[in-house]
Amino acid sequence: MLPFKTLIVIDRNSRQPLYLQIANRFVGLIREGVLKPGLLLPSSRVLALQLELHRKTIVAAYEELVSQDWVTAIPRKGIMVASNLPVIRPRSFQTPSSPYGQGPAFSFGSIPTVALSRHETAPPGQLIINDGFPDVREAPLEAWVKESRAIIQSPRYHQLLTYGTPAGSNALRRQLIGYLTNTRGLSITPDNLMVTRGAQMAIYLAAAMLIKKGDYVIVGSPNYFFADLCFEQLGARLLRVPVDEDGIDVEAIEQLCRKHKVRMLYVVPHHHHPTTVTLSAERRMKLLHIIRTYRLAVLEDDYDFDFHYSSAPILPLASGDHGGNVIYVGSFTKSLGLSVRIGFMVAPAAFLAETARLRQLMDLRGDNLSEETLAALLADGTIERHLKKSGRLYHERRDQLAHLLRMKLGNKVQFTEPAGGMAIWVTFDPRFPLSVISGKAAAMGLRITGGEHYFYGTTPANALRFGFASLNHKELNKAVGILEKITVSFAGNSENIKFDTKKDQWKN
């Protein structure tokens, strides 16, 4: 007989009942292959003697094993390790014999992707340039947790936390209407507003409601890659329209509308992603005209409205005369730097009601505690104060990065200082390919995310969204210093190369 006294180790101080400890240990032994299928186990009396336990404990353990189908009670023979039940084939933990080491035998769809890690953390001692994300060290996390605590301690908390619709908490929607009216001049009612998990979910939902396989969708070139991927995943054929220093080319949009039945336009008028350019007033006016004329469904992504330094922000298309054709999307994830992802979608009520149903199928509803917390922080002015404070900080950092780029990298890079936001779009001289620079930088303790991917589907740009918001004075200095060292070490004479602003490229 096997040495059960050794195999079955019992912890009398454990909260777990003895019989369950024994049963669990048996399960382990069966799965590890120590106890083979068909093996007859000792009778409860014999095992009780060996383990110096009451027989009832062993009987209870065996009953547990029987009820879990690990063993079979054979009349007049005893308890046998099950041999015929597929669920209990002996296997060891994390070996190829796990069913999950085999499959799947079924086929499944594939999802377009880019090789990109956006929200990486820097290993200790490493700096990271992200593509434009707030400084999480500045995020109002203390206020957030304090408010959450206040909510759960309030007498009405269980009412707050049990109700909920896929469109989001009523309190937050009320606060958001005030916020969007005051900051963006939107004219909306609660049934025009849905709270989502970040802007990305709003983009996916709107696109999924609109796009059918084969539909034409107009996007900028370059464009926010996750939007491109999302539309392609939903079956769209992308029509790419140039983005220049005045924003997306609206004449080109109109030409496409004349030529094709266009399903949707995706546009980032304010601090375009990735290039940070802002749509000019003239083009905005023209675009609103096109939207009305062609009854064009527009998905307006205004991820970056809350940070503007050089001038007041332009008003979104959603505040203009668009005949109810603009679906407007924004986010607090980007503006607060909290790990909590809360975004929103503004749209005509009939569209939103239908979209809320889709959201319900994808993700029943949001996190009430987070939504109520944000509502309270909007109501008491915490969010407004935080946005002002971090806006001042990021303004300084933008100025500092622009200064450092001019001083240390000079004509090796080209950029236009953005009017706001959290990143500068920096185009590198083609003699300094970003793929090479990234590799060298990583070896020197600087990791660069983003860049190279923005022309997804077409020609990659040798350009980078250099996020300045998350780096303090010292870190910005260090980061640009490393880039300077790398570019200085490159061979070649930079004097003969000039940047052609019209063509947005370098020429020899």
Q: Please, which residue, 298 or 413, has the CB nearer to its own copies?
A: 298
With binding defined as CB under 8 A, does residue 340 bind its own copies?
yes
C-alpha to C-alpha distance for 410 and 30, rounded to whole angstroms: 69
Q: Which of residues 57-96 bind its own copies (CB under 8 A)?
A: 64, 67-69, 84-89, 91-95
Tell me which of 26, 62, 204, 454 binds its own copies, using CB under 8 A. 204
Tell me which of 37, 42, 78, 320 binds its own copies, using CB under 8 A. 320
Q: Please, which residue, 275 or 319, has the CB nearer to its own copies?
A: 319
Q: Please, which residue, 220 or 343, has the CB nearer to its own copies?
A: 343
C-alpha to C-alpha distance for 27 and 157, rounded to whole angstroms: 43
Q: Please, which residue, 326 or 464, has the CB nearer to its own copies?
A: 326
C-alpha to C-alpha distance for 181 and 187, rounded to whole angstroms: 6
Three-class SS state of 425? strand
Q: Which residue type, as a one-letter code, is found at position 329?
A: V
Number of residues that bind its own copies (CB under 8 A): 132
- Structure token digits, residue 504: 């947005």
Q: How far is the CB of 322 from its own copies (least distance, A)?
A: 5
Instruction: Determine which helix (DSSP H) or strand (DSSP E) holds 345, and give its type and residue range.
Output: strand 343-346
Q: Which of residues 132-191 bind its own copies (CB under 8 A)?
A: 133, 136-137, 139, 141-142, 145, 148-149, 152, 157-165, 181-182, 185-189
Q: Please, which residue, 368 or 462, has the CB nearer to its own copies?
A: 368
C-alpha to C-alpha distance for 287 and 327, rounded to whole angstroms: 14
CB 88 within 8 A of CB 69: yes
Q: Which stretch binds its own copies (CB under 8 A): 105-113, 395-403, 449-457, 483-491?
A: 105-113
Q: Which of residues 220-259 bind its own copies (CB under 8 A)?
A: 226, 229-230, 233
Q: How many CA atoms lie within 13 A of 360 on its CB side?
A: 10
CB 198 within 8 A of CB 329: no
Q: Please, which residue, 152 or 488, has the CB nearer to its own copies?
A: 152
Q: Please, which residue, 89 or 440, has the CB nearer to its own copies?
A: 89
Q: Which stretch binds its own copies (CB under 8 A): 42-50, 202-210, 425-433, 439-447?
A: 202-210
The Cα-based distances of 42 to 45, 59, 80, 96, 301 in angstroms read: 8, 11, 9, 31, 69
Q: Which stretch binds its own copies (CB under 8 A): 45-53, 362-370, 459-467, 483-491?
A: 362-370
Q: Pick from 412, 423, 417: which is nearest to 484 by CA? A: 412
Phi, psi of 108 (to 5 degrees): -155, 165
With binding defined as CB under 8 A, does residue 25 bind its own copies?
no
Tell me which of 7, 252, 315, 393 binds its own copies, using CB under 8 A. 315
Q: How far is the CB of 433 from its own copies (least distance, A)?
A: 27
C-alpha to C-alpha distance for 164 and 173, rounded to whole angstroms: 12
Q: Please, which residue, 262 or 463, has the CB nearer to its own copies?
A: 262
For the chain, helix (H) and strand (E) counts, in that order, are 17, 17
CB 252 within 8 A of CB 241: yes
With binding defined as CB under 8 A, does residue 346 bind its own copies?
yes
Please name the residue ranges forming H helices in 333-467. 333-336, 349-363, 368-379, 382-404, 434-443
State the DSSP code for 93: T
C-alpha to C-alpha distance for 329 and 338, rounded to whole angstroms: 18
With binding defined as CB under 8 A, does residue 43 bind its own copies?
no
Sheet of strand 463-467: strand arrangement:
413-414, 423-428, 463-467
With binding defined as CB under 8 A, does residue 113 bind its own copies?
yes
Binding to its own copies by CB under 8 A, coded x per residue (else -) over 413-432, reads: --------------------
Q: Please, which residue, 433 or 445, has the CB nearer to its own copies?
A: 445
Tell me which of 272, 273, 283, 322 binds its own copies, using CB under 8 A. 322
Q: For residues 409-435, b (16+ Cβ closer than 10 Å) or e, as one string?
A: beebbbbeebbbbbbbbbbbbebbebe
- Structure token digits, residue 169: 């908490």
Tell me which of 5, 36, 99, 492 binds its own copies, using CB under 8 A. 99
Q: Please, which residue, 197 or 398, has the CB nearer to its own copies?
A: 197
Q: Which residues contact 139 (CB under 8 A, 6 or more apart)?
A: 336, 337, 338
- Structure token digits, residue 386: 């935080």
Q: Which stretch binds its own copies (CB under 8 A): 194-202, 389-397, 426-434, 435-443?
A: 194-202
With binding defined as CB under 8 A, does residue 101 bind its own copies?
yes
C-alpha to C-alpha distance for 241 and 253, rounded to whole angstroms: 7
With binding defined as CB under 8 A, does residue 209 bind its own copies?
yes
Q: How far is the CB of 65 from its own copies (least distance, A)?
A: 9
CB 348 within 8 A of CB 148: no
With binding defined as CB under 8 A, does residue 489 bind its own copies?
no
Q: How far is the CB of 355 from its own copies (least distance, A)?
A: 8
Q: Which stretch binds its own copies (CB under 8 A): 37-45, 337-345, 393-401, 473-481?
A: 337-345
Q: Please, which residue, 40 or 150, has the CB nearer to its own copies?
A: 150
Tell me which of 33, 37, 78, 348 binds its own copies, using CB under 8 A. 348
Tell me which of 56, 119, 260, 403 binds its own copies, using CB under 8 A. 119
With binding defined as CB under 8 A, does residue 392 bind its own copies?
no
Q: Please, which residue, 276 or 355, has the CB nearer to its own copies?
A: 355
